[in-house]
Structure formats: C-alpha cells, structure tokens
Structure 1
Amino acid sequence: MSTESSTQTAAPGTPPGPRPGLRERNKARTRNAIRTAAMDLFERQGYTATTVAQIADAADVSHTTFFRYFQSKEQVVLKDDLDDERRTAMFSGIEPGLSRFDLLRRMVSDMFAIAAEDEWASNMARYRLIQTEPTLFAAHQTESDAVISETTGFIAEYLGVRPDDLRLRVFIAAVTGVLFHVVDNSGNGEIPTLEECIEAIDLLEASLPV
C-alpha cells in the first residue's frame, strides 16, 4: 500500500522542502481567496470604495475570519508570505570579505530569489496597486524603512563599522534612494528587474558616470 511522502517535489513557484500539512494548506487557500476577492473588487470599484465587509463576503468568509488573516484592508495588499527568519538566515549565510558593493549585489540578488518564490510578493497587479494608491504607497514606504533599518544593522556588522557612522548612513541613503526612486520609477508600474538593480549599483560604484 503506497503512502504519501512528506517530502515531495515542489510545484513551480514554491520553495522546496516538506509538503505543508492539511491545516497549513487550508490556511493558504483561505488567505489566497481573500486576496483574490480583494484584488477583483479593487479593480472593479477602486481601492478606496472597497470595504472589508465586501472583501469578506466575496471571499465567502466571515468578518472574524478576515481579521484572523489580515489586520486591515491595507494589509491584504501589503502583507506577503516571505519569512523574516529565512531572510535573516540568508544574510548570515553570506561569506565574509565582500566589498560593500559586492555585498549589496549579493543581498539584492538573494532577496530577488526569495521574492520570486512567493507568488504574492511578485504579483504584478499588487505591485501596481501599491505604486498608484497613495495610502498603500505611504504604508509601503514605512514598512520599507523598517527593513532598511534592519539591513543597515547587518551591513554595519558585516563591514565592522558603527550603525550610526555618517559614511555608512550616507552610503545606505544613496543606495536606497537609487533603488527606490530611480530604478523603481519607470512610470508604468512595472516591477524593476534584478538586472536593473544591479546596473544601478554598478553605476554607483563607478561614481555615477553619465
């Protein structure tokens, strides 16, 4: 009699490893149903006009169930399934001795790889909505600032400098300014590619040639 193995080949777009249990799969289905219903409503009637009650009804879940998964309508869009522990493990796995620019390239490349494994994090419609809806854009920037603060601490430790060192703070400000406000400013709501981000870092390292 055959039994289902606990470790199966992952489906495309999902990280490898043990298959989630039934409870986790059911939770993922409910979470995805809420997101799908929300995005459909946002497209048809606009983000501002859509209510939590409408999203819950369209997803066929109760109001209470909605709030077990998301704190607000805003978080339906902003919250992804990327694991903070996995990002921390990724950073700690970076070999020592890289220059500050090579370190950036490695970090950006690794973060793109993690995001690519999460369908919601790399969802184009979600990205466009964040870029075009002022409330979401502002909230996203706030969350990004928190990630930058965490990343600054890691870079400081890696390079052996203080987190409040002026040179480090200027370096981080220059890099984030380029990645967030130059690369991420195509005007058409497209997700910047890894190649564009790496090219921007190359230009910074080359003293911004024109």
Structure 2
Amino acid sequence: MSTSIDGGVRAEKKARTRAAIRTAAMELFARNGYSATTVEEIAKAAGVSHTTFFRYFQSKEQVIVADDLDQERDAALAAIPPGLGHFDLLRQMISVLFDVGLSDDWASNYDRIALINSDPGLRDAYQAEGERAISEATEFIAEYTGVAPDDLHLQVFVAAVSGVMYHLANAGDPSMTHEEARARLLDAVDLLERGLPLRG
C-alpha cells in the first residue's frame, strides 16, 4: 500500500512541476517572445534548476508541443467497440481523440495552439509529433481491421485521410472552436467516404 501511495505522490509532484514549467514558459513567451526566451529563464521562473528542467522536457519546444496524454489516448482507442468499418472506425477515432484533448486544459489551451502556429520551429516539432501519431494510428487501424500495416490499401487510406486532416487543421479559421474543428473533420470523412463529390 505504501508503495502505491508513494508512487501517487511522486506522480502528483511530477505533474505539478511540469505544470509550473509550462506556466512559467507561457508567461515568458507572452512577455518576451518565444525565440528570445531561454531554457535558463524558464527554469528560473519555474523555480527549478537547469538540470531539473531537462529531466522533465527534452527541449524548449517540447514544453509546448508535448501534452502527456499518450496513456489516455491509448485507453480511449482501446475502448472503441469491435466490428466497425474503416470509415466508422475513423469517425470514432477522431471523436474519442478530440474528447481526450478537450478534457485536458493544456492540450486544449488556445494560447498554446496559437503559439505553435506562430513559430516555424514549433510547427516543425508539432508536425513531427503528428507524424508519430499517424504511424501509431496506422498500427491501430491495422490491428483493429486485421489488415497488414504495409498493405497498400491501408497505406493509401491513411495517406489520404492524414493529408486531408492535416490540410484542414492548418487551413482552418484560427477563431474556430475545438468543437467546430471536430465537426469539420467529421464532415471531411463523410466526403471521403462518398468518393469526394464536389457538390452536396
């Protein structure tokens, strides 16, 4: 029992420290700009050492890009009921992943998203995270449907879907709410399933 309690205390402390670093970083970025802010300044403002900073984040970019929701996303995907066709599976994946993101204050933080979109380095780091997510999603769809991950049919499906999702996410209205973005992506899935008609 004590081991479990100790583990819980450590996890809470870790979460508080990560949150403190992020809060300090966002305040400094708002005041001084992202590029002009150093790791040393973030660590000092958060009340941690330079070494401690790197125990929690690999880089300044990761302070913003990472969202710590891998376990929650895995659990949400695992809870999707079996037997869905690939388009219905895609709809479920989009919906549950949005739910996971919206339930977390950091992942759904509009200031964070605006900052990512405003800096080329952050956009590149965020895109790299997106490519990792696409690879993991491909593995999940393959396992769910019983199709080999390197099957051409699956590869084309994933490429088409990820291309559309990426374009819409980057070409959308910055004032769009998260729920509006979700609805737009689900509408796009409908169009893909209908064979890409040019009119309704």
State the TM bucket, normalised to the shorter chain. 0.7 to 0.9
Q: Structure 2, unaligned stretches of length 5 or more?
A: none
Deviation at 1:201, TM superposition (A): 0.8
Pairing 1:177–2:163 present: yes
Residue among 49, 52, 55 paired with 1:65 = 52
| Residue of structure 2 in register with 1:198 after alignment | 186
Pairing 1:120–2:122 present: no
Deviation at 1:23, TM superposition (A): 3.6
Deviation at 1:187, TM superposition (A): 4.9
Paired residue total: 191
Determine the C-alpha separation between the residues in 2 that align with 1:95 and 1:22.
Answer: 34
Q: Which amino acid counterpart does residue 30 of structure 1 have in structure 2?
A: T
| Residue of structure 2 in register with 1:6 after alignment | none
| Residue of structure 2 in register with 1:74 after alignment | 61
Pairing 1:208–2:196 present: yes
Deviation at 1:35, TM superposition (A): 0.6
Deviation at 1:26, TM superposition (A): 3.0
Higher helix share: 2
Pairing 1:88–2:74 present: yes
Deviation at 1:28, TM superposition (A): 2.3
Change (3 A) 1:145 1:189: farther
Q: Which amino acid counterpart does residue 44 of structure 1 have in structure 2?
A: R
Moved more, 22-31 or 105-114: 22-31
Q: Which amino acid counterpart does residue 134 of structure 2 have in structure 1?
A: I
Deviation at 1:25, TM superposition (A): 3.0
Q: Which amino acid counterpart does residue 40 of structure 2 have in structure 1?
A: A
Secondary structure of 1:121's match? coil
Change (3 A) 1:202 1:167: same
| Residue of structure 2 in register with 1:159 after alignment | 145
Post-superposition Cα deviations, 1:62-101, rounded to whole Å, max 9, x if no partner, equal 212212211111111011121x333223223222221111
Q: Structure 2 matches for 1:27-66, cutoff 5 A?
A: 27-66=14-53
Percent identical pairs in the alignment equals 55
Q: TM-score, normalised by structure 2?
A: 0.87
Pairing 1:24–2:4 present: no
The question of whether the paired residues in 2 share the 8 Å contact of 1:183 and 1:196 is answered with no
The question of whether the paired residues in 2 share the 8 Å contact of 1:81 and 1:118 is answered with no
Q: Structure 2 matches for 1:99-114, cutoff 5 A?
A: 99-114=85-100
CA RMSD, 1 decimal: 2.0
Q: Structure 1, unaligned stretches of length 5 or more?
A: 1-17
The question of whether the paired residues in 2 share the 8 Å contact of 1:203 and 1:209 is answered with yes
The question of whether the paired residues in 2 share the 8 Å contact of 1:128 and 1:190 is answered with no
